[in-house]
Chains A and B, each alone.
Chain A
């Protein structure tokens, strides 16, 4: 008998055929002995495979680990504690944040002082602000003692007051800048050392 359905037998066995194709294969199998034998052979093979216990393959991760263990090992530097590394990078970021914070505070304090100078604030607020402002204590004392008087006392008082306001601002800005430069220098030195280590080892 011609037009064997051998190519469809696997699909028929797995129950994947439908409609006209299923009908065609069933009709052919009813009449063709060769195809019936082939089907029985496939059925037997399938049964045999099901009886064999399934092989235990390792998981993908385990396989990768096993392969890595077999590869020649590269010597790696001991890793620093992660917390220290995060802290190291947070130093410059914190310095920038501190700089922005203090700059904003100074800017606002200028505005408030100006508003207070023009008498825009009530007595309570004004007293609160003036309590935090600097006074010319040294020159006032010198004036009381009699070392300074008149215009020179007034000039000295203004100079002291100005310096007292200006000095902290210079100090904190220089301090932040210096700390940042120290961080940069240490980073540069670490980097240079890391570059030199492979050269020395090589």
Chain B
């Protein structure tokens, strides 16, 4: 297998097959929404010098929670008189927030469906292009993407993310344990217990992160076997694992190269983001003009039962997804290219390895005609 040849071919496909960009945009949008919900990787480390040490006792914590409850109850009973906002308006605003959360959940589901349909479409379109040289339209892409394979990709992704989910649950349960230990006054954070907890937590996180990295690599092949060989979830996992095990040198090489390219892309994208700032200013203006009408419409509706600045905030919340998508569309396009390029590279890698003399893929037996 020649990784350089694959990278060059994927680059050529990215620029010559524009229909893929549409699916790339959906993938970039879905990835953006997922990462904004997922990690908040602040590099800031708390320091004892930054803020005075609180030294709370369990009673302080209990009292703090009660105080917070009292303040919230008072806020919703009295409202914010100086801003002309009544308690009833605040309660209504809370309902609007609930509606917004529901709206975002529905949007999240729609985006998830669109994401897996797009993943399927990109894999099939690239495979078809390589096999026959024919380029599909966006409509054809959606048609081949909207299939059972898209659902399978979702299930495979869920399985791949299971170790991460398990780790989150374990850390959450430890956090809850700490919380109750503090509230009940049974907390005894001695040096030994802290160190042993830290060592265990470190090992757990380290192992799960490594496992997740390996599973994410395997996922490329699980997905391609599911889409291109029309295999079920279990079969894709089994055959994908066997495929990678049998061709671990080629797969490992491609993986290392792709990580390196990811770093290069991260640096390049910082430069591109800076370069495209003038363009983004233009798209922000366009987004303001387009989003203004629905924004005013929402503000008008919310003004019927909200007071003060609340209708403006509520209106902005509902228009924000549209506004940000339009405003930062140039940067979204960069993400789209990255998504399409990555998917294309792995599809070509799968095809290339499969074509190798020792690249064995189980071929399903064709049932004999009766």
Contacts and interface: CB of A to CB of B under 8 A. Distances in A.
B56 interface: yes
B205 A108 contact: yes
Interface in B178-213: 178, 182, 187, 189-191, 194-195, 198, 201-202, 205-206, 209-210, 213
Contacts of A188: 4
B177 to A, nearest CB: 13
B213 A117 contact: no
Contacts of B194: 112, 121, 125
B251 to A, nearest CB: 13
B48 A128 contact: no
Contact of B53 (A104, A106, A109, A119): A119
Q: Would you call the interface of chain A mostly helix, strand, loop, or mixed?
A: helix
Contact of A125 (B191, B252, B263): B191
A117 B45 contact: no
B213 A169 contact: no
Interface string B247-265: 0000010001101110110
A116 B48 contact: yes
Contact of B49 (A104, A105, A119, A136): A136
A45 interface: no
A108 B198 contact: yes
Given A122-B189, A125-B190, A181 B260 contact: yes
A188 B256 CA distance: 12
Contacts of B267: 177
Interface of B: 3-4, 43-51, 53-56, 178, 182, 187, 189-191, 194-195, 198, 201-202, 205-206, 209-210, 213, 252, 256-257, 259-261, 263-264, 266-267
30 contacts: A89-B252, A93-B256, A97-B210, A100-B209, A103-B209, A107-B205, A108-B202, A113-B45, A113-B46, A115-B189, A116-B48, A117-B53, A117-B54, A118-B56, A120-B182, A121-B189, A125-B194, A125-B195, A133-B47, A133-B48, A162-B50, A165-B44, A165-B45, A166-B43, A169-B43, A180-B263, A181-B260, A181-B263, A188-B4, A191-B3
